[in-house]
Each structure stands twice: as C-alpha cells, then as structure tokens.
Amino acid sequence: MTDDKGHSKDDVTGPGAEDVKRQAVGTEDEKWTVSRRKFLGLAGAAGVVGASGGALLGGLATPGTARAAKMPEDYVAPGQLDEYYGIWSGGHSAEIRLFGVPSMREFVRVPVFQDDFTIGWGITNESKRVFPKGPRPVGGDLHHPHMSMTNAQYDGRYIFANDKANTRVARIRVDVMRTDKIIHIPNAQDIHGLRVQRVPRTGYVFCNSECRVPHPNDGRDLNNPKKYSAVFTAIDGDTMKIAWQVLVDGNLDNTDADYSGKYAAATCYNSEDGVNLAQFIRNERDWTVIFNIPRIEKAVKDGHYFTIEDPNVPVVDGRHGSDLTMYVPTPKNPHGCNATPDGKYVIAGGKLSPTATVISWEKVDQYFAGKFKNPMDAVVAQPELGLGPLHTAYDGRGNAYTTLFIDSQVVKWNIEDAIRHYNGKKVDYIRQKLDVAYQPGHNHSSLGETRDANGKWLVSLNKFSKDRFLPVGPLHPDNDQLIDISGPKMRLVADAPVYSEPHDCLLIPAKILIPKIKRVWDRNDPFFAETVAMARRDGVNPVSDNKVIRDGRKVRVYMTAQAPVFGLDQFEVNKGDEVTVVVTNINNIQDLTHGWCLSDYGVNMEISPQETASVTFMADKAGVYWYYCTFFCHALHLEMRGRMLVKA
C-alpha cells in the first residue's frame, strides 16, 4: 500500500510502527478514515456542548478525508518567493508568526506579550518600554491579529492583537515587525474579539471583553453575577489610548466592523448572565450586538458618560433600551462575526445551532432610523450549514466559507441564495462541503476581510491534527490546511503543522508589504530613540564610541558591534553596580545581525544592522563573565566575545 505521495506505509519500522501504518496520511482505508472522523466528531461535540448538547450528535457520518490536490512545492520552488504573507496568531505562545503562503513555510516569530530570549524581548530596555508600567505578566494568549486599513484595504502600517490572558491589546509595527505598544484595558477581563475600523481608516481598534466582571472589580460582588458586566472598547489606533467603552448586557465574544464606518458588531454567547457552562447554554438564542459609532461618539462628546476604574476612559451605557446599540437575537452561543466584503452583511456563526445568522447593515440603518422596532427584522437569512458553525470567510464572488467544528468540514455556501431561501424560494445555497482534518476554528481567505477579497486561498485552522503527522508525544500540533478556492470546487493543497495555538491568520499580498518592510534599521528609529538620547547626554556617539561612563553606582557601557568584534573586549564594574550595556550594530549590510549574551546573567539581545539595543542589570555576582555574540555573523563569530569583570 502506498499513500498518494508514493510512500509505502510499510517503510515505517520501530516502536509504534503499527499505529503509524494504520494511521498513515492519505490511507486508502476508507473505513478506518470514516471511523476515525466519527470518533473525532463525537469527541468534539462532547467537548463543546457537554451532556446537555447530546441532541447535536445526530448525522455525524462524513465522507473520507480529502486528499491533497497539488503540493505547495508546485507553487513555490526553492528560492522563489511566496505570493502572500501569512500573519499567524501564536495563541498562548503570545507571539505572531509570519508565514509564506502558499508554501506554508514559517519565516519568523515576532514576540508580542511573551518574553523571548532570541531577541531579548522582555529583557532589553527598549522592549520593556513597550509594556504598560508596573509588574509584567510573563505571557499572554493572542488570538486575533488584524492589520490596519485605509478605505477597507490593508495599508501595511500596523498589526493589532489581543491578549485574552492578561486583558491587553498590542500594536506591532509592520515596517520592522516589532511590537511598539501594549496597553491594558480597564473595566474588563479577557480581551477576546478584536477587529479594526475599515472606513475611513484605522482609526478605531475594537475589542471585546469576554468574561463579565463586577464594576468596580474590588472584591465586593463575588456572588452577585447580576452585577457583572462586559464592555466593548474602542482604542484609537494612532495613539493607543482608549477612546471610549460601551457597557453591554451579556458578554462579548467576537467582533467585526462594517464597510461604512458607522457600525461594529459583536457576538454574545452569555445572554443568560451565567457563570458556569450549564447556565451559558440555557437559552436557545443569545444575540449579536450592533454598536452605532456616530451616536456613541456624540454621547461621549455631549458628556453622557461615566467612568469606572480609569477616570480618563469614558464609558457609555449601551445595555437594553439604549439607542446606542441594537441586540439582534442570534441562535445559539454564536461565535464568529464576519462582515462580508461587499459591505452588505455581517454573519454570525451559530456554534451550538447548525445555522449562521445573516444581518443586513441596510436593515440596521433602518432600525436606528426608527423604521421598525423588532431587531429580528434585520436578519435576512439563517441558512442551515452543519454542526458547529464557527467562523466565516469570503471569496468576493458572493460565496461564504464557514468552518464546522463538529463536522470537521468547511462548507461553501452562497449568500444571496441563502437569502432567497429565507424568503421562501426553493433554492439550494450549499455549494460544497470539504472535509478538513480536524475540528476547524477560524478560517481565513486571501484578502477576504477587505474590499479586495479575491477568492484565491483559504486557510482552515484546525485544532486537531490527530494522525496527520508523525507522532510527537501527547501534545499534538494544530493542523493549518491550505485550500485552493479559485475554482468552482475547493481543493485541499497542504497540511501545515503549527505549534499551539493559532486561532486566526491574515493573508496579505506580498506586493503590498514588500515595499513597507525595512531590511536594516533607520538610525533615527523611535524604537531606540530614548537609548540614543541617553547616549547623547553621556556625550557618547553610539555608532563610533566605546566608553564606560560611571554615574555613582550606575555604570553605562557603550560598545559597537561590527563583525566579528565588539568595540570593547573588556570592561570593569563593581559588585552592586547597576549596569546598563548599550550595543550598536554598525554593520550596514542586510541580514548581518549580532547578539549580545552575557553568561550567567540571563541576558541576551538581538541587534540587527544599524540597531541600538540596551539592557540594565545588577552586577550582583563578582567574577569574570564572558559576553559573546549569539547570531552566527562571521567565520570568526565564535571569537566575537569579551569579558566583564565584576570586582568584589
């Protein structure tokens, strides 16, 4: 027996070989494949809905696992460049990752909320300045990276991302792929959904608090969940200051903005005001909240707001009865929230309902204009798609692609046909169901969240890989599958194992980003401007001087790095000194990065061409300590080192 790449499963030997043979990728053993998928369907369903969701378990039989049609190497040969940048969320690794698409190669990782020894994130002074003041949690849970837009097109300025674990939002500069600002969101806990204002530009970054908390959360209201609430937050993407917040009923899960600049929408799965699973899934319908941005801005301007934890953050009341919001009933525990690129609709994935709910922005306009009273009338379709609909992507040709978590499928369906069907016409809106492996969360199509949606590629971000890769221990990789959606049928192209746990990704044409991305640092870059200003105050020119400045118990050590030497091969400090080492890479050649690692002091930092990086530490151990370069920069890279003497 051979798989469709011509490998024989009998080639596998050694411990566990029998399992590998049975579970080989692309097996012809349809029966085994079907039972494997059934098992996963059941496990997934149980995981989502618990015992009370048993009714959802019907009809789980699915056809065999889809085969790869054409491999990524057919699209991107060695040495060739990918057509798309993939911006991947790292989940609870708290970073973002840059992939090439269609090769699905991972290029680099950009640390955001977590410490990273490779580049010294959380170690250098420049990175510490990015974080809010005060104690810094070690990690985060980054779900939703989204790029700034101008006129509903990616503009290549920033990527914004949430931290669900520590209630923060970060901004990453695209030109140097470096995080440049992290803020903590007050009056909230667990920032989850995050999207950007598309029109006229970003503008606002919208984000959701998922877990309701008492306001103020000062320990008084542990057992009074009725007093808990969640807020919708608008951050000014230019200043990274919070513009305003809206107090809502229920919680908020995912969010999206419209294509006119007037509205944002957010799904809510806890209309029950519950605090445990049984309560969260009690109602048949929760809701999608629509936020009327001009009215909220006017309310803030007119002073119709209050403050809670932070006196500088205006909060308006958008709970039921408010004219700032609209609550559109949505079955059941809805999750994904995705605006269509034609600017007409926003679609909420039903999760515990087999449906998606299509809400018309035009009807939303009419509701706020007082033309009708029942928010339900803004719903223009509710197609039945399959089990566990989560997120939806678009091809710009009127089709939607919704992930079905429990069915382990992506369903392609036609939006206008679904609307006709809702209006009583006998039309079939389902175009195709494609098996994915397994249990997809988000999916994302090329440019599908912009007005340029081009229907070329779709990535399905699958939570389970199960038997698709060599076994690597009990913790399995996720499996992000690349699907060609350019033709009438979806075709699976590649499986890509990824480390836990990407929730979402973006696909951005390389031609948009290549001109924006720097190959070497600009000496005037604001990222290290404060460090350069400190050097100037010390009378030091960091690109030429190698000097030790003593300032009481503070010592500042300035040195250059130029392959293969540091400007200082030794320096001396006293035990108990606070030492700041400033290293400037004066090479001006693309790809010639140095590192500065100080043995037994827990210090490493990356210094790329023309960059200045600095670190401050207490010289609390006497002795000789070597520092050495950590990026292989030259034939004499290993010899690129020096000594710090800490005098007792």
Question: Using the rule CB under 6 A, which residue among 4, 590, 632, 639 binds ligand CUA?
Answer: 632
- As a whole number of Å, the end-to-end CA separation of the chain is 70
Looking at the Cβ atoms of 389 and 595, the one nearer to ligand CUA is 595
Closest CA to 167 of 143, 183, 146, 144: 183
- Any contact of residue 27 with ligand CUK (CB under 6 A)? no
Looking at the Cβ atoms of 160 and 631, the one nearer to ligand CUA is 631
Q: How far apart are CA 285 and CA 270, in angstroms?
A: 10
The residue at minimum Cβ distance from ligand CUK is 441
Q: What character string, x for contact with ligand CUK (CB under 6 A) and - otherwise, covers 127-146?
A: ----------------xx--
- Any contact of residue 372 with ligand CUA (CB under 6 A)? no
Question: Using the rule CB under 6 A, which residue among 523, 637, 641, 643 binds ligand CUA?
Answer: 637
- Any contact of residue 627 with ligand CUA (CB under 6 A)? no
Q: What character string, x for contact with Ca ion (CB under 5 A) and - otherwise, covers 477-516?
A: ----------------------------------------
- Are 592 and 567 contacting, i.e. CB atoms less than 8 angstroms apart? no
- Are 314 and 389 contacting, i.e. CB atoms less than 8 angstroms apart? no
Q: How far is the CB of 234 from ligand CUK (least distance, A)?
A: 19
Q: Assess whether the previous peptide bond of 102 is cis (omega < 30° from 0).
A: yes
Q: How far is the CB of 628 from ligand CUA (least distance, A)?
A: 8
Count of residues that bind ligand CUK according to CB under 6 A: 11
CA 188 to chain centre: 19
Q: 76 Cβ partners below 8 Å, 6+ apart?
A: 82, 83, 100, 102, 103, 105
Q: How far apart are CA 59 and CA 42, in angstroms?
A: 11
Which one of ligand CUK, Ca ion, ligand CUA, none is in contact with 143 (Cβ closer than 5 to 8 A by kind)?
ligand CUK
Q: How far is the CB of 333 from ligand CUK (least distance, A)?
A: 12
Which one of ligand CUK, Ca ion, ligand CUA, none is in contact with 333 (Cβ closer than 5 to 8 A by kind)?
Ca ion
Which one of ligand CUK, Ca ion, ligand CUA, none is in contact with 144 (Cβ closer than 5 to 8 A by kind)?
ligand CUK
- Any contact of residue 286 with Ca ion (CB under 5 A)? yes
Looking at the Cβ atoms of 96 and 633, the one nearer to ligand CUA is 633
Question: Using the rule CB under 6 A, which residue among 168, 173, 192, 212 binds ligand CUK?
Answer: 192
- Any contact of residue 168 with ligand CUK (CB under 6 A)? no
Q: What is the 3-state secondary structure (H, E, C) of 543-598?
A: CCCCEEEEECCEEEEEEEEECCEECCCEEEEECCCEEEEEEEECCCCCCCCEEEEE
What is the torsion angle, in degrees rounded to the nearest 10, for the CA atoms of residue 634, residue 638, residue 644 and residue 648? Answer: 180
Q: How far is the CB of 118 from ligand CUA (least distance, A)?
A: 14
CB atoms within 10 A of CB 66: 18
Residue positions counted in the chain: 648
Query: Which helix (H) or strand (E) element contains residue 293?
Result: helix 293-301
Closest CA to 209 of 160, 247, 161, 170: 247
Q: How far is the CB of 382 from Ca ion (least distance, A)?
A: 17
Closest CA to 283 of 208, 359, 350: 350
Q: How far is the CB of 582 from ligand CUA (least distance, A)?
A: 16
Residues 435 to 454: which contact ligand CUK by CB under 6 A? 441-442
- Any contact of residue 335 with ligand CUK (CB under 6 A)? yes
Which one of Ca ion, ligand CUK, ligand CUA, none is in contact with 594 (Cβ closer than 5 to 8 A by kind)?
ligand CUA
Q: How far is the CB of 441 from ligand CUK (least distance, A)?
A: 3
Which one of Ca ion, ligand CUA, ligand CUK, none is in contact with 286 (Cβ closer than 5 to 8 A by kind)?
Ca ion
Q: How far is the CB of 188 from ligand CUK (least distance, A)?
A: 15
Question: Using the rule CB under 6 A, which residue among 594, 604, 611, 627 binds ligand CUA?
Answer: 594
Q: How far is CA 525 from CA 175, 178, 191, 484, 528, in A?
A: 11, 12, 30, 40, 6
**Part in contact with Ca ion (CB under 5 A); list of ranges 161-169, 268-276, 367-375, 623-631:** 268-276
128 burial type by CB count under 10 A (0-12 exposed, 13-18 middle, 19+ buried): middle
Closest CA to 513 of 209, 124, 140, 83: 83
Looking at the Cβ atoms of 9 and 335, the one nearer to ligand CUK is 335
CA 73 to chain centre: 27
Q: 345 Cβ partners below 8 Å, 6+ apart?
A: 339, 358, 359, 360, 361, 380, 415
**Part in contact with ligand CUA (CB under 6 A); list of ranges 23-31, 124-132, 168-176, 626-634:** 626-634
Helix then strand count (H, E) for the chain reads 9, 40
Which one of Ca ion, ligand CUA, ligand CUK, none is in contact with 518 (Cβ closer than 5 to 8 A by kind)?
none
- Any contact of residue 563 with ligand CUA (CB under 6 A)? yes
- At residue 498, the 3 state secondary structure works out as strand
416 burial type by CB count under 10 A (0-12 exposed, 13-18 middle, 19+ buried): middle
Name the β-bridge partners of 236. 204, 241
- Interacting residue ranges for ligand CUA, rule: CB under 6 A: 563-564, 594, 629, 631-634, 637, 640
Please give the residue ranges that form the binding site for Ca ion (CB under 5 A). 269, 283, 286, 333
Residues in touch with ligand CUK (CB under 6 A): 143-144, 192, 254, 335, 390-391, 441-442, 503-504
